[in-house]
Amino acid sequence: MMKRQRAILLVILLVTSLSVNNMQAKNEGLIAGACALGAAFFGMAGAIAFVDWFCSETDEQFIARVNSDYSKAYSYYNDTMVYFGKISGMNHYVSASYKPFNNISESVLYEFATYVWHQKSTQAQYRSNLIDAKNIFQLYVSSLRKRIHDLEEKPYTQAHQYNLRALRKLLYDVEDFLPGLILLADCLEHHSSYFNLYDSIDTIRTRYIQEITIFESGRYSTAAEIKLYILNNSHNERFVLKNFVHQVDQDVAIIIAGMHALVYNYEARKQYAQGLINILCAIKNIVVIDPYYQEELYQWEQDHLQQLHRQAVEVQMSAEHERAKALSRQQKIAHEWDKIQEEKAMHRCYHNGLLW
């Protein structure tokens, strides 16, 4: 009974501490490790599963699972934690109560963001998986302490002593590893707006990398080459140039929104974002002044007007159909009324004839 009550308390702890994450991580590098550690615990279903584990797992099974997860997390994150601690200077604040996250330079954030990018992950995905791993190991610390306490109160047996030593060793390892994991996760979360903008810039720049390369070449034929490249990659769709301009407008809006969302003054990132906006707008202007774009725009407007006309005709036809149905119902009601009046008149005549 006591064990069940403790399990319920762990559910509350789990639900409040774990962030729900439905993203599927790629099976590469650091990301696979975070996914392996977190997949079983996501959401309420994970909380229920953990209760079942806590109530039914033997100490031996629990030790094997935590030891496996710790080994994976250590191999995936320890070198990264050491690397980030050195370049940021935060390795001096692992055990400190105050951690000056604002003192991390923008060049360090850029270097680490590029490091994550080389892991073939988005910044948001990497950060989310890291936070999940941090939350899981915080929960493991609580579970390890509870099991150690339970074993210490049981009668001495060789098996219990063996498990007790193993649990204490695991607790020592996890508690030694966890502060660095927490520090890295909290640093990334503190500067999440920077990394989110990095994600947007990276995604959008990659989408237009060929057009940007042509534009930056500065050749005399730049405008023609850009137009030709866009048309050749159209996959026979209609309104190619118009759709391209619309996509550029959307992507520029995303970058601007990311810049406005910056919590701190990341001057270099804002300048780079503005530079990308300027290039995209210049490429867009090359397309907009092209006669073929004007033809597309005119044709699209004509098609749009025709579509509006068809919709208006359909609405009118539907209204006429409803009016016809309403008129038919009125006629049917009138016919039924006349029939009722005739029956009443016949009934009166028949009744009067009987009286006579």
Task: Write down how long the chain is.
Answer: 356
Percentage of the chain surpassing pLDDT 70?
Answer: 79
Q: What is the pLDDT of residue 21?
A: 43
Give the C-alpha separation, 277 to 296, whole Å.
Answer: 24
Lowest mean pLDDT among 40-44, 105-109, 281-285: 40-44
Out of 23-27, 115-119, 290-294, pick the least confident: 23-27
The domain locations on the chain are 2-190, 202-289
Min mean pLDDT across 3-12, 16-25, 322-331 is at 16-25
29 compared with 188, residue with greater pLDDT? 188
Q: Write out pLDDT tens, residues 340-352.
A: 777 777 776 766 6
Per-residue pLDDT tens for 234-281?
A: 777 788 999 999 999 999 999 999 999 999 999 999 999 999 999 999
pLDDT band at 355 (very low <50, low <70, confident <90, very high): low
> Of 100, 104, 265, 103, which is closest to residue 197 (Cα–Cα)?
265
Of the listed ranges 56-70, 261-275, 316-330, the least confidently predicted one is 316-330
* Nearest C-alpha neighbor of 269 from the set 127, 110, 124, 66: 110
Mean pLDDT on 32-51 = 43
Cβ-based neighbours of 258, under 8 Å, separated by 6 or more: 193, 196, 197, 200, 201, 273
Task: Tell me what pLDDT residue 305 has.
Answer: 61
Give pLDDT, residue 32.
41
pLDDT over 90, % of the chain: 49
* Torsion sign (Cα): 333, 335, 336, 341: positive
C-alpha dist (Å) from residue 190 to 31, 71, 113, 200: 20, 27, 14, 18
Which region among 11-15, 135-139, 152-156 has the lowest average model confidence (pLDDT)?
Answer: 11-15
pLDDT given for residue 104 in this prediction: 93
The pTM score is: 0.70
